[in-house]
Structure 1
């Protein structure tokens, strides 16, 4: 079974303008734990004392998930992370030629010595600590540099090597730039040295390929995949949690591994406190994800939802719905009348047609029609026109 590392509280808070208070982080962590993620990466305590406080609180909350901290490859940063009581530590240090030359101004062997020193220190402080080493910008680094640094890190005590597509460079359509290639190659090269760490992948979405790259890595045997709620993160973010879980289930992972009925609550909470709306057309979690609109679609799904729906909303604790507007047909009005408890009106074909035409007129304003509120108002108008003396009763019945 593949493991899920959620980084909403670390990578997600690197979204410009996003800030979660320690209390909000606790709520998010609890939702993630209920869903069943394996590792919750809370942040880098060296960045701010409030982040350190949040890590400590969540580490002491008795959650099932492992609680992790992120750290530069520096002993003082590692010490701050361990002081928070974490059982997972992520250390990163780039071994790409450009970073080594232009940013660090050191050679690869010096970088490897630094990695060994920091990993050894962390392991000495906490023997049961789960340590991940990330060669930042892995997929744009020479593979020989990655293998050399990863080998040294594992020998020093690292449990996990993360393949980081830091800039969203990877693509499944190029044989030597795919996550499949990197996972397979790294596993093989480390295995040839008698080293068998878990392989993690961290896929950025700069070209819209984060999810497909993550699934490509899964197909190659990746052990851990990084995600965030709403796909939040630097620039275009990383893999979206809900989208990954649904696709993993489709690829054979057991549905029972995750409690997907908590997804909506998590996403609504993160959306509210990140001040970022979930676009209605977002897969899985968007308002329109299971909403049917066009007349042909609605008429078909009224008989069998699978005719225009490949996902079962029930696994998310949701139901399919319909929308009314310019594209609607007769069946949509019938179903909408039943939805608001006025199914008997569907027997009047003339009334249904009149309502349908009115809906098409209203739709030209360019905003969605609220079935629960606006359909009763439309009915009232037609009732008043045909039976003016029933005005009082109709208003009482459909007051809004």
Structure 2
């Protein structure tokens, strides 16, 4: 395989995705992270299209970049205008980037119906713009927009457009599968024909509308493409672009193409970009998702325990991920043993207590419990089954109320009372909250803080409620998942009941007992 470079367009094409937005500072931070990772080109945006992109290029020009070439993106000159008079082309030069990517029309449909210029004028627009930027010392990449749609209808004119860019001095021609609807076989065949026609490799830019953005890029590389353009986590217009977090390990690990990247930081990079975009992590993302190396079925876990590669196509450490064994009603004894050993418990082979724990898990999951996201509750379950659990308090009773006061300026109050016994002392507390669960949480903490001052460091980070059997209407069981944190670690707990207050109470108590157990360790 010939060398392949990675061209990242997260900061331009990626921001065209629904719900994706970055501040100027965010864009600089993402670019720094991509540069540290070893990406070869970072497309920062379209100079002049918005103030954020203009500010990004101004800031980027002041910095030194380790591996990446910061790249500005723009279009060919306008029709019937001199290239030196086009303000958009001038902004590309003003961005002061070492490389510039210019997109031009390849599809005759776009030339005549959208640009409303002649086919010959379009060729001149391409040639003039590339030559002008080259004259000013820029590395020029030419993006042939809609190339594959165009080639299917009119291969002769499609080849003329990219030949015009090449003859004008373009350093690389990039074939763009802009609509995302082509299939890998066609992309590979077409890329081979283009390379043969131009006499040199090309780049590939794909979208994921048909769910084959990565497959199409891989097909182009097999045909001889020397650059892959895409975005981190597949952000992009409509359903997104070629996902670099998927294709980079496929190229480097599976196809043996040395990209010069430290893939052990891949998951870190993916999560970082998600965090700055305020986008939830895709747990099922290949290579970098939490579920990518998660094993749930008992037979699978048993096999992985003996030989990991039976159900893991690569070592998760190679991409900065890790193996996860979950506990559910599909679990076998291997799940319990591996998960428990990860928590510090030790069981000999054939230990009857493993089956006891597994039976309790299956019983609780049949009632609606779910331990995949509630590892703290699973550890408390193990301790209870092993006789290692000592409650931090004995509940006498609790009461939670919600009152709505009517009238023109109506308001509501929520109050909880709790009676406990802690170390032989009886405690009675009352507190209010924004809702009945919040009031209960406040009252419980108020009761326990004099005995366990460390609880001041613990807080709830997330609270989720799910109706399990909605067919029973208001009598349905409710599952409550609570995520707690002390600022360093986070842990999940679960409670199930037909009463949402009771389900919440169970998850709250598990969370507090787990925290105090770890603090005492």
Is the TM value for this pair above 0.5? yes
**Structure 1, residues 115-150: CA drift from partner, whole Å, max 9, x if none?**
2222222222x22x1111222111111221121121
Structure 2 residue aligned with 1:132: 141
Q: Residue 305 of structure 2: which of 302, 307, 327 is its match? A: 302
Structure 1 residue aligned with 2:194: 186
Structure 1 stretches lacking a partner, 5+ long:
none
**Structure 1, residues 164-222: CA drift from partner, whole Å, max 9, x if none?**
1000122124xxxx22122211122223xxxx4x5111011100011111111000100
Q: Report the TM-score, using the length of structure 1 for normalisation.
A: 0.89
Aligned pair 1:242/2:245, yes or no? yes
The residue correspondences of 1:247-326 to structure 2 (distance < 5 A) are 247-249=250-252, 250-254=254-258, 257-326=260-329
RMSD: 2.6
Going from structure 1 to structure 2, the CA distance change for 1:378 and 1:210 (only over 3 Å counts) comes to same
Greater shift in the superposed pair: 133-142 or 360-369: 360-369
Q: Residue 119 of structure 1: which of 99, 123, 130 is its match? A: 130
**Higher normalized helix content (fraction of residues):** 1
Structure 2 residue aligned with 1:337: 340
Structure 2 stretches lacking a partner, 5+ long:
78-85, 395-421, 424-512
Q: Residue 165 of structure 1: which of 138, 157, 177 is its match? A: 177
Aligned pair 1:381/2:384, yes or no? yes
The residue correspondences of 1:59-208 to structure 2 (distance < 5 A) are 59-63=61-65, 64-74=67-77, 75-124=86-135, 126-127=136-137, 129-141=138-150, 142-173=154-185, 178-191=186-199, 196=200, 198-208=201-211
Greater shift in the superposed pair: 30-39 or 52-61: 52-61
Paired with 2:391 and 2:36, the residues of 1 have a C-alpha distance of: 55
Name the larger-Rg structure: 2
**Higher normalized strand content (fraction of residues):** 2
**Aligned residues of 1:363 and 1:369 also touching (Cα < 8 A):** no
Deviation at 1:376, TM superposition (A): 2.3
**Structure 1, residues 219-254: CA drift from partner, whole Å, max 9, x if none?**
010011111110110111111112111111211213
Q: Report the TM-score, using the length of structure 2 for normalisation.
A: 0.69
Paired with 1:231 and 1:399, the residues of 2 have a C-alpha distance of: 40
Deviation at 1:371, TM superposition (A): 6.2
The secondary structure found in structure 2 opposite 1:157 is coil
Greater shift in the superposed pair: 133-142 or 268-277: 268-277
- The aligned length equals 387
Paired with 1:157 and 1:248, the residues of 2 have a C-alpha distance of: 29
Aligned pair 1:41/2:43, yes or no? yes
Q: Which has the higher contact order (CA 8 A, sep 6+)?
A: 1
Greater shift in the superposed pair: 222-231 or 270-279: 270-279
